[in-house]
Amino acid sequence: MPKKETKYIFVVGGVMSSVGKGIAASSIGKILQSRGYAITNIKADMYVNLDAGTIRPAEHGEVFVGEDGIEADQDLGNYERFTNQVSTRENYITTGQIYAEVIKRERNLEYEGEDVEVYPDIPKEIIRRIEACQKKNNAEIVIIEYGGTVGEYQLLPFLEAVRMMKSKKPLDVFIVLISYLPTPSLLGEQKSKPTQHAVTDLYSVGLNPDFVICRADHPATPDIKRTISNVCSLPVERIVSAPDVYSIYDVPVNFEKENFGGVLLKTIGLSQRHKDLADWTALAAKIKKMKKEVHIGIVGKYFNFKSCKDTYISVIESINHSAWASNFKPDIIWLDSEKYENDHKLLSELDELDGIIVPGGFGKRGTEGMILAADYARRNKIPYFGLCLGMQIMTIAYARHVLNLNHANSTEFDSNTPDPVIATMQDQIEKIKNKNYGATMRLGACPASLKKGSIAEAAYHESKISERHRHRYEVNPKYVDRLEKAGLVFSGKSPSGILMEIAELPKNKHPFYLGTQFHPEFKSRPLSPHPLFTAFIKACIGRQKK
């Protein structure tokens, strides 16, 4: 049998960003995977940053950490949640990486005396990376999502890469345009003109969409579909509706209602296969039926005018997965920690909640408010779950209020603290001194051993785990003995026993008071929620019953 060629599906945005390109790309991955195809998803971002590690989360969204420690755009988290495929650095491309590689090669005389040009050397390197990712994942179909929208200057080399690939492999390279159909309130009808302009932008760089996905608040009308199909010279079946849905997990299900998977395979020239999306479809249906709510406060600081949804997306989704598994509808309340610093009385609002989470974060701002909230949750037996910074915060609160080390702190927030219960990790000292900040934290998957009889061990049902990390500071080994003697249990430790990975209070002292130095939120999946989030949610539901 002749070898089947790999198929490449490029997902590009038109009209405007933030309309769910990442979810669409994840859903395309999901529906192809559900038919037994080996897929891999790539995100290509236009910025010159080498990775997402130095970017402000309040504006650009969460930094998602892969198993291998890549600090990537949040879309890699969507891919993982939808397809359960583990992303590594090959799945993430930026303009910065492309240029850095080309310049490095130039310095190594690898261009053999030729001058190095933006065209074709930059697109060539983009293609090389896409193909390398395909090889590493042995993928039959590669889905590459481009950040930004067509018509942007920065996207040109990336679009040129598509054109170059397509001219070599016309039957293997496809373009899905994710567009937006506005419905002006005065008119009350969907408009396709902005989409037509986006298609024209693609034409101008020598590309044609093979599919148009119409994001809108309502399904695309047959008229609109016909108009767009005419403009793009595409059969109507390749114009796909993507209306707003109850949850993002509905998107693949909706795509299948339009038989997008079937049409996609027909178009790219792969055989139709049996589809297995039953569990996923059942979950998407179940989510809508849930009535009983569980109320979770997130005490954080990366809140901005837009939304906190992108900043804390993996935390939110992990809460969702575990709440749904317990047949509860999550109600998330955003609590800006800084307000507690100005008015301690406001802490009493935590009484109304079923539990609180202190998520990851960097820098001093807001940490005093978080410490107050952690202490309040301990004294009032409110379930508390600390994620990375949240574990450091609960350790500081414990040192201050149980060990009476009134000025205990992290050296990150107070370099002169008399009691640095959280201190710079040894290997970080030199890096911070040299301002060597990019990709230098303790990153990615690391193993840990769990203590027998602990809450953590009971949740995981095993004693050896591996979780993803992203931090520079740690529980100071010099204080571990004292903290343990005062009742804080370090129930997870690195194999060497030096790094504290989980801190908790025993069940007879508190219903759930637990923090992790790692980020469990990166490994929760809709159909396999994270055990610690599930244990936390169960404790929150338990508080409701009281």
Using CB under 6 A, count the residues that bind ligand GLN.
10
Q: Is 302 in the site for ligand GLN (CB under 6 A)?
A: no
- Known catalytic residue at 510: no
Q: Is 301 in the site for ligand GLN (CB under 6 A)?
A: no
Check whether the bond before 120 is cis (ω within 30° of 0): yes
Q: Is 172 in the site for ligand GLN (CB under 6 A)?
A: no
Measure the CA–CA gap between 341 and 130, rounded to whole angstroms: 48
Measure the CA–CA gap between 160 and 174, rounded to whole angstroms: 14
Q: Is 471 in the site for ligand GLN (CB under 6 A)?
A: yes
Shortest distance, position 234 Cβ to ligand GLN, whole Å: 45
Q: What tokens were used for 352? A: 């109304």
Rg of the chain, C-alpha, whole Å: 25
Residue of 400, 472, 510, 530 that binds ligand GLN (CB under 6 A): 472
CA distances to 66, 280, 288 from 244, in Å: 29, 18, 14
Shortest distance, position 445 Cβ to ligand GLN, whole Å: 15
Q: Which residue has the tokens 């395979």?
A: 265
Residue among 137, 159, 142, 141 at smallest CA distance from 150: 159
Q: What tokens were used for 320? A: 């969702």
Q: Which is nearer to ligand GLN, 388 or 503 (CB)?
A: 388
- 243 by Cβ neighbours in 10 Å (0-12 / 13-18 / 19+) ranks as middle
Helices and strands, counts by H and E, the chain: 19, 21
Q: Is 529 in the site for ligand GLN (CB under 6 A)?
A: no
Q: Which is nearer to ligand GLN, 85 or 395 (CB)?
A: 395
Binding segment (CB under 6 A) for ligand GLN, from list 111-119, 280-288, 334-342, 469-477: 469-477
Residue among 257, 259, 263 at smallest CA distance from 284: 257
Please name every residue paired with 333 in a beta bridge, in sequence order, or none if there are none.
Answer: 297
Contact present, 43 and 90 (Cβ < 8 Å): no
Residue of 470, 493, 510, 538 that binds ligand GLN (CB under 6 A): 470
Binding segment (CB under 6 A) for ligand GLN, from list 42-50, 221-229, 470-478, 492-500: 470-478
Please name every residue paired with 516 in a beta bridge, in sequence order, or none if there are none.
Answer: 387, 502
Shortest distance, position 410 Cβ to ligand GLN, whole Å: 7
Q: Which is nearer to ligand GLN, 332 or 389 (CB)?
A: 389
Measure the CA–CA gap between 182 and 218, rounded to whole angstroms: 10
Kindly identify the residues of this chain, within the stretch 378-437, that bind ligand GLN according to CB under 6 A.
388-389, 412
Amino acid in position 247: S
Q: Which of 71, 256, 317, 521 is catalytic?
A: 521
Binding segment (CB under 6 A) for ligand GLN, from list 111-119, 144-152, 455-463, 468-476: 468-476
Q: What tokens were used for 129? A: 């990376």
Shortest distance, position 230 Cβ to ligand GLN, whole Å: 50
- Known catalytic residue at 133: no
Q: Is 64 in the site for ligand GLN (CB under 6 A)?
A: no
- Known catalytic residue at 197: no
Q: Is 315 in the site for ligand GLN (CB under 6 A)?
A: no
**CA dihedral over 98, 470, 39, 258, signed as positive or negative:** negative
Shortest Cβ contact with ligand GLN: which residue?
A: 360
Residue of 146, 260, 473, 490 that binds ligand GLN (CB under 6 A): 473
Q: Which is nearer to ligand GLN, 166 or 470 (CB)?
A: 470
Using CA atoms in the order 369, 373, 378, 384, what is the torsion angle rounded to 10 degrees? -120
Q: Which of 388, 446, 469, 471 is catalytic?
A: 388
Q: Which is nearer to ligand GLN, 98 or 372 (CB)?
A: 372
Q: Which is nearer to ligand GLN, 158 or 303 (CB)?
A: 303
Q: Is 265 in the site for ligand GLN (CB under 6 A)?
A: no
Shortest distance, position 392 Cβ to ligand GLN, whole Å: 6
Shortest distance, position 362 Cβ to ligand GLN, whole Å: 4
Kindly identify the residues of this chain, within the stretch 343-382, that bind ligand GLN according to CB under 6 A.
360-362
Name the H helices within 462-525.
Answer: 477-485
Kindly identify the residues of this chain, within the stretch 121-160, that bind ligand GLN according to CB under 6 A.
none
Q: Give the H/E segment covering residue 521.
A: none
List CB contacts of 278: < 8 A, sequence separation 6 or more. none
Residue 261, SS3 per DSSP: helix
Write out the residues near ligand GLN by the rule CB under 6 A: 360-362, 388-389, 412, 470-473
* Residues acting as catalytic residues: 388, 519, 521
